[in-house]
Structure 1
Amino acid sequence: MHVPDGFINAPVSAVAGVVAAGAVAVSLRGARRELGGERTAPLAGLVAAFIFAVQMLNFPVAAGTSGHLLGGALAAILVGPYTGVLCIAVVLLMQGVLFADGGLTALGVNITVMGVVTTVVAYALFRGLTRVLPRTRRSTTAASFVAALVSVPAAAAVFTLIYAIGGTTDVPVSKVLTAMVGVHVLIGIGEAVITALTVGAVLAVRPDLVHGARGLAAPLKLRVAGELVDAPAAVPAPAPAAARSTRKVWATGLVTALVLAGFVSFYASASPDGLEKVAADKGIDQKAQEHRAAGSPLADYSVKDIGNARISGGLAGVIGVGVTVVVGSGVFWTVRRRRTPDAPLIRTAESV
């Protein structure tokens, strides 16, 4: 759903940019609380890189139409809503500047629609569901599925609202809304499957690393005389989360992202995504502009001057994952570091 330059007029794009900048500023403050542990910054950077990689995997949803992960729900559930907004913002910035994907003047629109809306809607719904469902891993995974599913058509609806206010073409909004929401409900199913599978996989090995599952502590069960009962309290508890290394998780996640972007992406659907298809069918792309970074050596997810499409696309994907994990980790490390000087001041005030 990367909005290119020319779909939305300059004044509305500028307002969307202000909204996005405000959301990022609020998220920077909120992320300081979410990025409390020493290992959370590189993990958040990994989440951004993983989302970048999975967004390269367009999957078919209808005849001649594809979709890809937006990632707001996944990021919010794994690392928190504020950090999630920052994850998507980093991904969109890398895509726009390096790969000419998503307009530069439309960056504010894209962050608002793909980052803020998906994250807020998904996390609010996820939290609501986890409060009424049993506190189990299965329920948490199910809640992530529903939250991700709803977040995608919600983003499509907000894009339609922005188009209604500042669209550069004269197309009935009702037609755009019907087409956008309709196709993005189908894309939302794919988003929900990817999100639930990823959240479920992390829950299975390290539930302490899932922000949305904090406090999830299902007691160990033993089968006695054919019935499941709680294990005795004498059973040793697992090591505290702070004392458990995240190196294996980080390495596994990074390798997975590199494989997805560097190899699996070659087999992604070449059909236009939901927004591109609707834009072509309804005519809202009549004033689309060439991307200002079209001359980038990585434009269109290929490396300039490399003729082999498989090698070119794979290398571009690997570079994208590497740059995103470095930039993302650097941003989150800086955000986390900015909260530490406050602690001595608070303790000093209290001691006085």
Structure 2
Amino acid sequence: MHVPDGFFNAVTSVSAGVVAAAGVAVCLRGARRELDDRTAPMAGLVAAFIFAVQMLNFPVAAGTSGHLLGGALAAILVGPYTGVLCMAVVLLVQGVFFADGGLTALGINITIMGLVTVLVGWAVFRLVSGLARGRGGVTLAAFLAALISVPAAALVFTLLFWIGGTAPIEVSAVAAAMGGVHLLIGIGEGAITAATVGAVLAVRPDLVYGARGLAKPLELRGAGGGSTAVGAPEPVAGEPRGGYRPFLLGGLGVTLVLAGLVSFVASPDPDGLEAVAETHGFSGRAAHHSFGRWALADYGEVGGIPVGIAGVVGVGLVLLVAGAVAYAARRRNKIRV
């Protein structure tokens, strides 16, 4: 759903940029409460993983594909504030280095694919996980959160395009088309999100931000059989710090395999937004990207670089930028304390 340059007029693009900048600024402050010495590198890994999986378009209908947006996944794994930062970094790297999403449309993309998907996904996740408890409830909540976040983002795009798009549209028809195809994409998004959250829960449940409520409080049992809750369990004394590194290295390995190898078999069909734009006659409004001649543009196609190599480079860039942002926010929190 990466919006190209030319789809929106200047007023809408600037307004969305202001909203996106304000949202990122708020999240930079809020992320200080979510980040610690373990979740900061986790944020970098999550952003890199989302970048890699976004390269893997999957077919959803005849001649149409979809890919992960990732807002709900990021919110569940590292928290909603940090999740927005992860999405902003992914979209920034994609727009600047890979010509995926317009530069003047960066605010639109961060608003739709970052703020909307994270806020909607996190709200749905909190609601469902509060009703369906346990690990199964968290996995179900992750699926539904991701599923609903995608058509929600598509409908927000339609509303914004109706208000400030550069082509007239029949809003009801475009809304139905965008909502319908992105509901199908949302099913794939839900499956990917649930599988990822479930895998992390199975290995390191302490690293899933949305599952922190699963920890049972410690209880002191008296001789008479009574018990008193004394708070959340503390980490096991003497637990080796190296126990966290294998998880990070394993996650990075999976991410590199997805970007470097699986990306070769991604669907070449246009994604949901591109297909709807072609069908409803506004695809021609897309402008040429300012960095469209860069070697990495279109994930290496412009420069003749194999898509897998471009994907590995992108993973490295996202990992570095997202990790730096997370550590900077964490450091400011330490200084304030």
The two structures have a TM-score, normalised by structure 1, of: 0.88
The SS at the match of 2:213 is coil
Residue-by-residue CA offset, 1:182-214 (whole Å, 9 max, x unaligned): 000000000000000000000001100000000
Q: How does 1:144-183 map to 2 (within 5 A)?
A: 144-183=142-181
Structure-2 change in CA distance of 1:300 and 1:218 (3 Å):
same
Match of 2:106 in 1: 107
Tell me the residue number matched to 1:232.
Answer: none
1:66 aligned counterpart, secondary structure: strand
The 1:71/1:30 distance shift into structure 2, 3 A limit, reads same
8 Å CA contact retained: 2:54, 2:68? yes
Task: List aligned pairs for 1:246-325, cutoff 5 A.
Answer: 246-302=244-300, 305-306=303-304, 312-325=306-319
Offset at residue 241 of structure 1 (A) = 11
Q: What are the residue-to-residue correspondences of 1:180-195 with 2, within 5 Å?
A: 180-195=178-193
- Structure 1 counterpart of 2:61, one-letter code: A
Partner residue of 2:86? 87
Equivalent of 1:239 in 228, 236, 240:
236
Distance 1:50 1:291 in 2: 25
Structure 1 residue 335 and structure 2 residue 332: aligned?
Answer: no
Q: 2:29 maps to what in 1? A: 29
Give per-residue Cα distances to partners, 1:9-41, cap 9 Å, x unaligned.
111010000000000000000001100x21211
1:217 to partner: Cα distance? 3.1
CA distance in 2, matches of 1:55, 1:143: 21
The correspondence for 2:206, drawn from 205, 208, 222, is 208
CA-based RMSD: 1.7
Partner residue, 2:3 = 3
Does the C-alpha gap of structure 1 residues 33 and 240 become closer, same or farther in structure 2, counting only changes over 3 Å?
Answer: farther
Shift of residue 286, structure 1, vs aligned partner: 2.4
Q: Deviations over 1:325-344 (max 9, x none)?
A: 0111011101100011122x
Contact 2:162 2:168 in 1 (8 A): no
SS in 2 for 1:301: coil
Q: Go from structure 1 to structure 2 and tell me whether the alpha carbon gap of 1:206 and 1:241 turns closer, same or farther (over 3 Å shift).
A: farther
Task: Find the aligned partners of 1:155 and 1:242 in 2 and give their Cα distance.
Answer: 42
Segments of 5+ residues of structure 1 without an aligned counterpart are: 220-235, 344-352
Provide closer, same or farther for how the CA distance between residues 164 and 303 of structure 1 changes in structure 2, counting only shifts above 3 A: closer
CA contact (8 A) 1:148 1:188 kept: yes
d(CA) in 2 for partners of 1:97, 1:182:
30
Identical-pair percentage: 64
Contact 1:303 1:316 in 2 (8 A): no
Q: Quote how far apart the aligned CAs of 1:305 are.
A: 4.8
For 1:327, the aligned partner's letter is V
Shift in alpha-carbon separation, 1:72–1:267, aligned structure 2, 3 A: same
Size of the aligned set, in residue pairs, is 321
- Runs of at least 4 residues of structure 1 off by over 4 A? 240-244
Work out whether residues 297 and 303 of structure 2, in 8 Å CA contact, stay in contact via their aligned partners in 1: no
Task: Give distance in 2, aligned partners of 1:284 and 1:120.
Answer: 28
Alpha-carbon distance between aligned partners in 2 of 1:139 and 1:105, rounded to the nearest angstrom: 40
> Deviation of residue 247 (structure 1)?
0.5
